Amino acid sequence: MTDTARVPLAQVRDLLVPGEPLPFRVLDAQGRLLLAAGQRIVSNDQLQALLERGASVETDQARAVRRAREAAGSGGPVPSHRRATWFDTWERQLWALDKQLRSLGRDPEQYLELERFVDAQLQLVDKHPDAALFLAIRQDDRRFALYALTHALHTATVAVGCARVLGWPAPRQRSLALAALTMNASIVELQSQMAEQTDAPSKRQIDAIRAHPHRSAELLRASGVTDPEWLAAVEDHHERAGGSGYPRGLATVGEMAHVLRAADVFAAKVSPRLLREPLLPQLAARQLFQDEAGGPVAAALIKAVGVYPPGEFVKLRNGETAVVVHRATAGHAPRVVVLLTPAGKPAPDAPQRDTADPTWAIAGVATQRAGLPRVLAEQVFGLLEP
């Protein structure tokens, strides 16, 4: 959060062009980061969503950009001719989800828009599944104001991967994805607040958390949703077999709610908060496996994301430090991009390695994260086609 003077984004629209890197960071009405300098506004719809959120720019940054443009003889940016990438489409989906969740419960036919949205999202993940998992594991942009949205997308990615390992048919996978995207619809803003909260949750927040499965399902019903598995998964995604979950303390939990809970927990554990670093994926997977007593859901989820999932930092046998970019096609030998040489220096040209080659085999997870570079997906995957 920032307390510096800010100007509404609407007042600097002339400095913006969708598709071009931002010359300044964009904050929400509470001063929380929405977009970092260098990120892109990928569509006019996203720009409109930012304006509706009360987005702003730090005044000194806006003035500096305007002065620089005027000194260069141009009051505004040059229109972009950059081709859209898969990552641009992902960002567009993020903001489309924001619009969907914020308007939930107002239109009895909104379920049709949600279904169109999930079909587009599933196609997007299927196009580059390892890139989608990388985004879930390596969340280096720290946009806590958007936590509810990113968590929903990442949970859907993990949940559907788990369902496929379990052999679910496509219609059930779709219902599961819809449940993952809408399970927290009633606490979107609360989730974002708590992601960067420095004190313990208040009683009011705890009450809202305990009530959100039912309230989210009610919003879905008001939006025309009648799919019983989708609704049940949302209502029961915090229930646990044996009765220790909430809000109803059910002794028996449906399979879809069970898978959704596992994906939700895993995605939350590997996500950063302001005062908590993310768990290593291996530790998050181990905790889930123990919590599930080695059951089939935990085993399927671990198989879906991989022993070394995309986005994980690893040490190679030759001393290099790398980040996983593609899961292993067989066994536990993924493809990686080298970040640091054995001497700890940035690796020239960031070469790819196939860790099935004994020379570049994985020695283990890079548990010492101090000094490791910030890695964004576009750096290691390049300009993926949408």
* 3-class DSSP assignment, residue 323: strand
* Angle, CA of 222, 264 and 181, to the nearest 5°: 35
The string of pLDDT tens digits covering residues 237-288 is 999 999 999 999 999 999 999 999 999 999 999 999 888 889 999 999 999 9
In this prediction, residue 47 carries a pLDDT of 85
In this prediction, residue 300 carries a pLDDT of 98
Contacts with 35 (C-beta within 8 Å, 6 or more apart), sequence order: 22, 25, 26, 41, 50, 143
In this prediction, residue 71 carries a pLDDT of 75
Q: Which residue has the tokens 């570079």?
A: 373
Separation of alpha carbons 213 and 233, rounded Å: 9
- As a CATH number, domain 86-305 is 1.10.3210.10
Architecture of domain 6-71: Alpha-Beta Complex (3.90)
Has residue 51 got a pLDDT over 80? yes
Q: Where do the structural domains in the chain lie, given as residue ranges?
A: 6-71, 86-305, 313-381
Q: Per-residue pLDDT averaged across 191-199, rounded?
A: 91
Q: Which residue has the tokens 């039912």?
A: 214
Q: Output the six-digit token pair for 67.
A: 């002065």
Q: Per-residue pLDDT averaged across 58-75, rounded?
A: 78
In this prediction, residue 349 carries a pLDDT of 87
Has residue 125 got a pLDDT over 60? yes
If you ran DSSP here, which 8-state letter would residue 296 be given? H
Would you say 96 and 180 are in contact if contact means Cβ atoms under 8 Å apart?
no
* 3-class DSSP assignment, residue 157: helix
Among 112-121, 317-326, 377-386, the range scoring the smallest mean pLDDT is: 377-386
The string of pLDDT tens digits covering residues 132-145 is 999 999 987 788 99
Q: Per-residue pLDDT averaged across 102-123, rounded?
A: 97
Q: Whole-model pTM?
A: 0.88
Confidence of residue 44 (pLDDT cuts 50, 70, 90): confident
Confidence of residue 375 (pLDDT cuts 50, 70, 90): confident
Separation of alpha carbons 260 and 309, rounded Å: 19
More confident residue, 187 or 275: 187
In this prediction, residue 311 carries a pLDDT of 96
Has residue 95 got a pLDDT over 60? yes
Q: Which residue has the tokens 């720019």?
A: 57
Rg of the chain over CA atoms, in angstroms?
Answer: 21
The string of pLDDT tens digits covering residues 19-36 is 788 888 999 888 888 988
HSE-CB of 50 using CA atoms within 13 angstroms: 29
HSE-CB of 245 using CA atoms within 13 angstroms: 20
Percent of the chain with pLDDT over 90: 68
In this prediction, residue 219 carries a pLDDT of 98
Separation of alpha carbons 142 and 1, rounded Å: 12
